[in-house]
Amino acid sequence: MGALTGKVAFITGAARGQGRAHALRLAAEGADIIAVDLCQQISSVPYPLATAEDLAETVKLVEETGARIVARAADVRDRAALSTALQAGLDELGRLDFVIANAGIAPMAGEDAWQDVIDVNLTGIYHTVDVAVKPMIAQGDGGSIVLVSSVAGLVGLAAPAAGSLGYAAAKHGIVGLMRVYANLLAPHSIRVNSVHPAGVQTPMIDNEFTRKWLDGLDTQGGPDMGNALPVQVLQPEDVANAAFWLVSDAARYITGVTLPVDAGYVNKR
Ligand SMILES: NC(=O)c1ccc[n+]([C@@H]2O[C@H](COP(=O)([O-])OP(=O)(O)OC[C@H]3O[C@@H](n4cnc5c(N)ncnc54)[C@H](O)[C@@H]3O)[C@@H](O)[C@H]2O)c1
Active site residue 167: yes
Ligand 1 and 46: CB distance under 6 A: no
Phi, psi of 35 (to 5 degrees): -115, 135
pLDDT of residue 1: 83
Does pTM surpass 0.85? Answer: yes
Q: Active site residue: 47, 126, 167, 253, which one?
A: 167
pLDDT of residue 214: 84
Pocket perturbation via mutation, ligand 1, pick of 155, 194, 204 by most ligand atoms within 8 A of CB: 204
pLDDT of residue 5: 98
Model confidence over 92-126: pLDDT tens digits?
A: 999 999 999 999 999 998 899 999 999 999 999 99
Question: Helix, strand or coil for residue 220?
Answer: coil
Ligand 1 and 50: CB distance under 6 A: yes
Q: How confident is the model at residue 215 (pLDDT cuts 50, 70, 90)?
A: confident
pLDDT of residue 37: 99
- Tell me the CA–centroid distance for residue 103 and ligand 1, in Å: 5
Ligand 1 nearest atom to the CA of residue 236, by list position:
16
Side chain identity, residue 36: V
Ligand 1 and 13: CB distance under 6 A: yes
> Do 19 and 13 contact (CB within 8 A), yes or no?
yes
Side chain identity, residue 2: G
Pocket perturbation via mutation, ligand 1, pick of 16, 18, 265 by most ligand atoms within 8 A of CB: 18
CATH class of 7-261: alpha beta
- Tell me the CA–centroid distance for residue 189 and ligand 1, in Å: 28
Report which protein residue has its CA nearest ligand 1's atom 29.
38
Average of pLDDT values for 244-248?
Answer: 98
Task: Tell me, letter by letter, the H, E, C secondary structure of 144-207.
Answer: EEEEECCHHHCCCCCCCCHHHHHHHHHHHHHHHHHHHHHHHHHHHCEEEEEEEECCECCCCCCC
- Tell me the CA–centroid distance for residue 73 and ligand 1, in Å: 15
Question: What is the C-alpha to C-alpha distance for residues 145 and 126, in angstroms, rounded to an integer?
Answer: 12
Report which protein residue has its CA nearest ligand 1's atom 7.
150
